[in-house]
A and B are shown apart, each in its own frame.
Chain A
Amino acid sequence: MFSLEGFLDLPLIWYALIATAVFLYVLLDGFDLGVGILFPFAPTDQCRDAMMNSVAPFWDGNETWLVLGGGGLLAAFPLAYAVLMPAFYIPVIVMLLGLIFRGVAFEFRFKAKEPTRWIWDYSFHFGSLAAAFMQGVIIGAFVQGVEVTGRSYAGGAFDWLNAYSLMTGVAVIFGYALLGATWLVMKTEDLTQQWAAKTASYTLIYQALFLAAVSISMPAINADIRQLWFSLPNVFFLAPLPGASAVLIVLIWRHLRRGKEVGPFLMSFGLFFTGYLGIGISMWPYLVPFEITFRQAAAAPASQSLLLVGTVVLLPVILAYVAYCYYIFRGKVSGESHYY
């Protein structure tokens, strides 16, 4: 049987690949969910048209990274997939329903006549809001650990629900709003852009507060994480991470103030990266905290090998044509169009 096990650390490679896919999902769907979150707060209908059009060609591709994360987890770490999905049953279902309302809104809003268009405006907004909130709740519940017996989830239906996970849910809403706002600064002009820049500054402040809250609380609620971050010599290696976050927050603020268009968006990516890396380091090496490591959850080497070959060949191609699509739709959008 074909296997690359002999000369590659397959579980580690797959851990990195899944982490990358989920991170790309967070960034890419993050900005279009963020646009949905900010949608009703825009000053005019024309702004809303421009906002929706700025993400319409991309949302489907962005959401595909979520399918890759889910499908990839099933393929590479089936045990983790089999434990986490029942554990987060309710938030996952609500997230999926939210994504349905968000996804259909793009097509339906274009087709709806004036008197009923508001349905799809709210469908877009609340769908995005619910999906973002539930993703945050899942992260918050995830870092607190999952109860496992044997090879199955052993907790209750509402183990994910507590003040901490609700807080991270709200944190992700503001995080995505920041991505959405800085995306709009880059992709729109005039009134929409001015409003987006102002909104980005507000959400940046909230995002900074939530980042601080999460950074302080994670070591506080778990002794192992505390040990990891604050023992010597780790503290010296890891200190640059929160430091980088702080620097990025200041830089985004200043770029927004100076009316820069691209910088805030890219640096918001950076801010997400430092936060994501921080969570990843804290959870290492668990895929189901604090029960199952990525090595224990790994699929058969033959399975990981087969998909790895495809990934190595196809992922660069995918990234190339995704980049090409962003290139095709480069430049500013406007809300000048009229619909029938």
Chain B
Amino acid sequence: MFEHLDPVFLARVQFAFTVSFHILFPSFTIGLASWLAVLEWRWLRTGKQVYADVYKMWVKIFAVTFGMGVVSGVVLSFQFGTNWSIFSDAGGNIIGPLLGYEVLTAFFLEASFLGIMLFGWNRVSPRLHFAATVIVAAGTLVSAFWILSANSWMQTPVGFRVGEHGLLYPTDWLEVIFNPSFPYRFIHMVTAAYLTTAFTVAGIGAFYLWKKRHIAHARVMLGMAMIMAVFVAPLQLLFGDMHGLNTFEHQPAKVAAMEGLWETTRGAPLVLFGWPDQEAEITRYAVEVPKLSSLILTHSLDGEVRGLKAWPENERPPAAVVFWTFRIMVGLGLLMIATGVAAIVLYLRKRLFEARWFQYWCMALTPAGFVAVLAGWFVTEVGRQPWIVQGVLRTADAVSPVMAQSVALSLAAFIVVYLFVFGAGTYYILHLINKGPEDGEGVYGGHGMEQPPLVTDVARKKGGRHVQS
């Protein structure tokens, strides 16, 4: 039944599925870890119980999400080999050390101090516990640094030479690590992760306000999230624009697909909507703003923008996917900025925490960050096709010599398992949200233990002093 399946396509679908699922978790935990550090800092500084309560509610959600991020991430570290063994062989000299540094500088740090963060409440001092939270937060950022460096190098490869058997050899590590698209992609992604967390937290805070539950806690959530919406969402537009200009310089075919532009044009219009037709090489039903694309990309009304026809057919990305996911991402980004503007207006009218319509609005935007992150990754990953390493190695030439049947079966297994396991995780997170923060729950946070953590000290026990909450 699998004779007609294309192994390259299957390997891509499988990798897209597992990596898309995975990116949802770090997108959330990168921002959440930093926010938890801020909350714990506020708590230590002010002594206000509300910060501790909010911390203890969200650290449980963090634990569930982080656990799912870990297990879905371990899969990826093997899938480079199971799905893309030719790429692993050819690019291992360059990608390998970057991933190795991610493990050495980030994964161990996060995994070890996460244990203290979740279970260490009555085992270490508050300051040390705070340090553990900060270390975990830093670990998530360091991890993002390396993995985005590796991804960016595959988009804009420099600092290497091609040797025997098509193997790639590094010639300058600083060029490799800080390759042309890396700084932009790193800033754009970390900001995206912060906004994803902010809008999730805002949505939950709005939910409590709407339900008139946990008002004090909800104000902290919505208030802090809106600070992000006001200041960071507009910055993201700027970062995204800079990233786009960088892509225009280094991967112009991707930008042509994003714009739905087929003919190389001076004074290119900005296509707001339309349907790029790969066969007919036109964008149907296009709604255009004259000359705007040239203005954005070249900062000149008559600047030249290369269209997709400038590349041979077998070097063009599939335009429709790139075109539409780009519009989803930008659209959601604009909604986030609008949210920030609305928040300022409401705040000045002293109605930020009271306006009902705004609570609905924020609840509706709860998943906005996740959708925008996924859409953005589809833009950049589909947009670099047909290359796995831009201009160097084609995706079709990088695939493992594994039978299509094996890949199809494992893809089916991944889909079933992920939907079940991560569906259950989502259910438990929703349960935690519904339960909400508890007032003065005591210091025993992680895992919803009402009693102290189970690891009781022998010495204490022998002294007959059982730790009580």
Which residues of A line the B interface, CB within 8 A? Answer: 1-2, 49-50, 53-54, 56-58, 60-61, 63-64, 66-68, 70-72, 74-76, 78-79, 81-86, 89-90, 92-93, 96-97, 99-101, 103-104, 106-108, 110-112, 119, 151-154, 156-157, 299-300, 302-303, 306-307, 310-311, 314-315, 318, 321-322, 324-325, 328-340
Contact = CB atoms under 8 A, between A and B. Distances in A.
6 contacts: A67-B73, A71-B96, A82-B92, A86-B85, A156-B403, A303-B97
B81 A84 contact: yes
B169 A300 contact: yes
B396 interface: no
Contact of B75 (A72, A100, A331, A333): A100
A324 B112 CA distance: 9
B280 interface: no
A83 B85 contact: yes
Nearest to B406: A157
B406 A299 contact: no
Given A76-B96, A90-B406, 12 more contacts: A56-B119, A56-B447, A57-B118, A64-B107, A64-B111, A71-B103, A85-B400, A93-B413, A104-B68, A303-B97, A321-B109, A328-B120
Contact of B99 (A63, A75, A92): A75
Give the most central of A2, A58, A71, A328: most B CB within 10 Å: A71
Contact of B124 (A1, A151, A328): A328
Given A332-B461, A336-B451, A337-B451, A299 B64 contact: no
Nearest to A338: B451
A306 B97 contact: yes
A61 B455 contact: no
A93 B123 contact: no
Contacts of B447: 56, 107, 110
B64 A85 contact: no
Contacts of B456: 331-334
A157 B404 CA distance: 10
B85 A82 contact: yes
Contacts of A157: 402-403, 405-406
Interface string B388-415: 0000000000001111011000100110
A306 B116 CA distance: 31
B1 interface: no
B172 interface: yes
Given A92-B82, A157-B403, A325-B115, A300 B74 contact: no
A66 B454 CA distance: 27
A67 B76 CA distance: 10
A119 B94 CA distance: 42
B71 interface: yes
Give the most central of A1, A64, A310: most B CB within 10 Å: A64
Give the most central of A107, A299, A318: most B CB within 10 Å: A107
A97 B411 CA distance: 11
Interface string B145-179: 00000000000000000000101011111000000
Given A86-B401, A300-B170, A329 B455 contact: yes
Nearest to A154: B401
B112 A61 contact: yes
Given A306-B97, A336-B454, A103 B401 contact: no
Contacts of B448: 110-111, 339-340
Contacts of A303: 92-94, 96-97, 170
Contact of B450 (A64, A78, A307, A338): A338
Give the most central of A49, A74, A85, A310: most B CB within 10 Å: A74
B282 interface: no
A68 B97 CA distance: 11
Nearest to B424: A108
A48 to B, nearest CB: 12
B105 interface: yes
Contact of B104 (A86, A314, A330): A314
A89 B97 contact: no
A89 B407 CA distance: 9
B108 interface: yes
Interface stretch (B33-41, B249-257, B366-374, B425-433): B425-433
B92 A299 contact: yes
A325 B97 contact: no
A111 B74 CA distance: 23
B67 to A, nearest CB: 4
B285 interface: no
A70 B459 CA distance: 40
A96 B64 contact: no
Contacts of B81: 70, 74, 81-82, 84-86
B421 A100 contact: yes
Contact of B71 (A84, A103, A338): A103
A67 B107 contact: yes
A58 B114 CA distance: 9
A160 to B, nearest CB: 12
A83 B267 CA distance: 51
A71 B173 contact: no
Contacts of A334: 454, 456
A100 B89 contact: no
Interface in B48-77: 60, 63-64, 67-68, 70-75, 77
Given A93-B410, A314-B105, A67 B74 contact: yes
Ranked nearest first, the 6 interchain pairs of A and B with the lowest CB-CB distance are A78-B92, A85-B81, A75-B96, A57-B115, A82-B89, A331-B458
Contacts of A49: 454
Contacts of B80: 74, 81, 85
B173 A306 contact: yes
A75 B454 CA distance: 39
B78 A302 contact: no
A100 B455 contact: no
B187 to A, nearest CB: 24
Given A61-B115, A337-B454, A339-B448, A104 B97 contact: no
B86 interface: yes
Contacts of B113: 321, 325
A66 B74 contact: yes
Contacts of A71: 77, 96, 99-100, 102-103
A308 to B, nearest CB: 9
Given A107-B64, A302-B169, A325-B116, A89 B402 contact: yes
A93 B18 CA distance: 12
Contacts of A333: 454-456
A322 B92 contact: no
Nearest to B60: A111
B67 A107 contact: yes
Contacts of B170: 1, 300, 302-303, 306
Interface in B413-469: 413-414, 417, 421, 424-425, 428, 431-432, 447-459, 461
A85 B448 CA distance: 39
